[in-house]
Structure 1
Amino acid sequence: MNPFSYARPSSVEDAVTLAGPDARFIAGGTNLLDLMKENVLRPRQLIDITHLPLREVMASGNGGLRVGALVSNADLAWHPEVEARYPLLSQAILAGASGQLRNMATTGGNLLQRTRCWYFYDTGTPCNKREPGSGCGARDGVNRMNAILGASDACVAVHPSDMCVALAALKATVHVQGRQGAREIAFADFHRLPGDEPQRDNVLADDELITAIELPAEGFATHYRYLKVRERASYAFALVSVAVALEMDGDTVRQARIALGGVAHKPWRREEAEARLVGQRADDAHFAAAADALLAGAQPLAYNAFKVELARRAIIRALDEAARGVTR
């Protein structure tokens, strides 16, 4: 691990003043410290934000819920308002990591997780995300865990978060603060596809700090399902995950949200695929049509072609269970 300086600001304003391209904010540190130990990231300064007033969960002005960036994953998953109004989010968080990690990991930090692509972590191999211009070792290497959608010649990494897949389906909003002031970012716009700049995971500027996540008033508390397919039932990242939120009128779908994890550089949604379900009977034929639309254009690699059919089946199953109200 390389030497670095340390600062502990007492306000958000002070924190963003210290921020820059060679600095990193640190809270739980569940991902950042691993990256530093592996010499993947070498920040010159760590800015400890754990003493900032960002730990509240409160009602928002639009009837939703505002979650401070320092709320732990465990506290968020078990928060009474989240369990009652946004059970999809609770289910997704509890599917991720381990109890110990959820106790430390924060809401804001979860959004900023780096990919678990093996080539990103192995500093002896080429990786455009770690070292732009060096190449992508995963494209022709061992790519079982990598992307089938939205990838580029420069990068086939996937975003690792479970929580973010649910937030994408719920259409959350990210609140950030920088030296130029505060702004709100629609969750769909927060993470990036790799394009020719895979080193940029999101649209944050170097001086911007996530301060809160805002959940909308509509939480889909009855017809929802987070389904995670992984190689072992204990702590493991998703091969494919699906977050489904439905509004039902009897057997008819009135509103549908579907987001995928484990398949792209960001949580994957296509509103045109969701629209195929609206006004339709909740049955396997319509679910299959939506799945095919969501997965259209998939480009599997040598070792992950199985993900296409796996994702299709997972989508159909998650939609069926959400429509029937089977949540566990």
Structure 2
Amino acid sequence: MRELSYTVATSANEAIAQFIEFDGAARYIAGGTNIYDLMKLGIERPGHLIDVSRIVGLDAIETDGDVLRFGGGALMADVAAVPNLRNEYPILAESLLKAASQQLRNMATVGGNLLQRTRCMYFRNGAGSSSAVGVYPCNKRDPGSGCAAVGGLDRTQAVLGTSEACTAVAPGDWPVALTAMDASVNLLGPNGSRSLPIQELYRLPGNTPHLEFDIEPGELITAITIPKTAAGRASTYHKIRDRESFAFALASAAVALEMDGSVVRSARIALGGVATKPWRATAAEAVIAGSSLTRDRAVECGRAAFADAHPGQHNSFKVELGVRVIADALFIAAQRRA
């Protein structure tokens, strides 16, 4: 048994003060749907937990004005149920509704979901742990120990954004949709408040895969803001997985379009299940912009997204699957235009 203490914060500033008091040994907790798993596996070993689920206003949902604003403590289920979100921004609602189970969505927060860590089996059963499947080197858990997925069982690993040190796929659905919609994340920490684009929250693995997020010790996600856009209506989050529900993506595409008749004026495309971070497919966006949406053009767009893919031994199928997922998502989104 390891000693563990617990406190409840009633304000963001109180939570940060408690974090400082425990000198970096603390972790914030809201829904607990990820950190508890990591604690059981010995990946996270906090000495203290700070419950931020009761902070007044942290769960606020605001849809007036020029932006959509979701407090970091808002529940996934509550955001997915926002009136008109399914009609005006289906890309957002679908990314939440296709994630996890209803029970988990009733507990998990949209802020905590952004910091969800990989489900790579080598990470979850890697360096420093003992389990039925053995002990494996993992640079995320033990920097410099190696990566068992490179040359190992890599069917679910990433094909984009990989390095020799790590091929673990980013697991989230919600962050992919936010990436396509140019969302920003508001943070509050010991050094004050700041805002950064969602794409800058995530780091490529490079030689330091254990450094996954651009977040400072003690920083708390207070809100997620999304600019309102007409492209929200012509959008979708299209997800392919091994089973119909309760499974992580093998490949997914978040697509939002602005169209003039059958011509795509502009496109926002982000990918999940295939990369080491939520992946903005700018090359694909450039291919489809200004073109009529035909099947051949949609497939060409998908191929542009995977031009720099580096598949391993068992996950090369993700390239062709990803191409088709993008192509299908373009047509789903186009059918929803006003």
> Taking structure 1 as reference, are residues 321 and 85 closer, same or farther at Cα in structure 2, changes over 3 Å only?
closer
> Taking structure 1 as reference, are residues 279 and 30 closer, same or farther at Cα in structure 2, changes over 3 Å only?
same
Query: Tell me, what secondary structure is at the counterpart of 1:140?
Result: coil
Structure 1 residue 30 displacement after superposition: 0.4
Aligned residue in 1 for 2:132: none
Q: Using the alignment, how far apart are the partners of 2:300 and 2:174 within structure 1? A: 26
Q: 1:126 aligns with which of 134, 137, 143?
A: 137
Q: Using the alignment, how far apart are the partners of 1:116 and 1:172 within structure 2? A: 24
Structure 1 residue 3 displacement after superposition: 2.3
- The one-letter code of the counterpart of 1:244 is V
State percent identity of aligned pairs: 47
Q: 1:206 aligns with which of 208, 217, 230?
A: 217
Are 1:30 and 2:33 counterparts? yes
Are 1:299 and 2:310 counterparts? yes
Contact 2:89 2:235 in 1 (8 A): no
Aligned residue in 2 for 1:11: 11
Contact 1:170 1:219 in 2 (8 A): no
Contact 1:60 1:214 in 2 (8 A): no
Q: How does 1:306-317 map to 2 (within 5 A)?
A: 306-317=317-328
Q: 1:255 aligns with which of 262, 266, 277?
A: 266
Contact 2:241 2:251 in 1 (8 A): yes
Aligned residue in 1 for 2:178: 167
Structure 1 residue 22 displacement after superposition: 2.6
- The one-letter code of the counterpart of 2:243 is R
Q: How does 1:79-98 map to 2 (within 5 A)?
A: 79-98=82-101
Query: Tell me, what secondary structure is at the counterpart of 1:50?
Result: coil
Cα deviation code 1:268-299 (max 9, x no counterpart): 11323202211111112221222122111100
Q: Using the alignment, how far apart are the partners of 1:222 and 1:85 within structure 2? A: 5
For the aligned residue pairs, the C-alpha RMSD in angstroms reads: 1.5
Are 1:197 and 2:208 counterparts? yes
Aligned residue in 1 for 2:60: 56
**Bigger shift: residues 66-75 or 270-279:** 270-279
> Taking structure 1 as reference, are residues 139 and 92 closer, same or farther at Cα in structure 2, changes over 3 Å only?
same
Contact 1:171 1:186 in 2 (8 A): yes
Q: Using the alignment, how far apart are the partners of 1:92 and 1:256 within structure 2? A: 18
Are 1:286 and 2:279 counterparts? no
- The one-letter code of the counterpart of 1:101 is L
**Bigger shift: residues 135-144 or 285-294:** 285-294
Contact 2:178 2:198 in 1 (8 A): yes
Structure 1 unaligned regions, length at least 5 = none
Q: 1:141 aligns with which of 152, 172, 176?
A: 152
Contact 1:171 1:216 in 2 (8 A): yes
- Number of residue pairs the alignment of both structures matches: 325
Structure 1 residue 223 displacement after superposition: 1.5
TM-score (norm 1): 0.95
Structure 2 unaligned regions, length at least 5 = 130-134
Aligned residue in 2 for 1:106: 109
Structure 1 residue 84 displacement after superposition: 3.8
Q: Using the alignment, how far apart are the partners of 1:239 and 1:284 within structure 2? A: 22
Query: Tell me, what secondary structure is at the counterpart of 1:215?
Result: strand
Structure 1 residue 51 displacement after superposition: 1.3
Aligned residue in 1 for 2:246: 235
TM-score (norm 2): 0.92
**Bigger shift: residues 82-91 or 28-37:** 82-91
Contact 1:77 1:93 in 2 (8 A): yes
Cα deviation code 1:83-111 (max 9, x no counterpart): 34322100111111000000000011110
**Bigger shift: residues 283-292 or 139-148:** 283-292
Q: 1:275 aligns with which of 268, 286, 298?
A: 286
Aligned residue in 1 for 2:235: 224
- The one-letter code of the counterpart of 2:242 is E
Aligned residue in 2 for 1:45: 48
Structure 1 residue 115 displacement after superposition: 0.2
Query: Tell me, what secondary structure is at the counterpart of 2:32?
Result: coil
Contact 1:177 1:183 in 2 (8 A): yes
Q: Using the alignment, how far apart are the partners of 2:265 and 2:300 within structure 1? A: 16
Contact 2:230 2:258 in 1 (8 A): no
Structure 1 residue 21 displacement after superposition: 3.8
Aligned residue in 2 for 1:76: 79
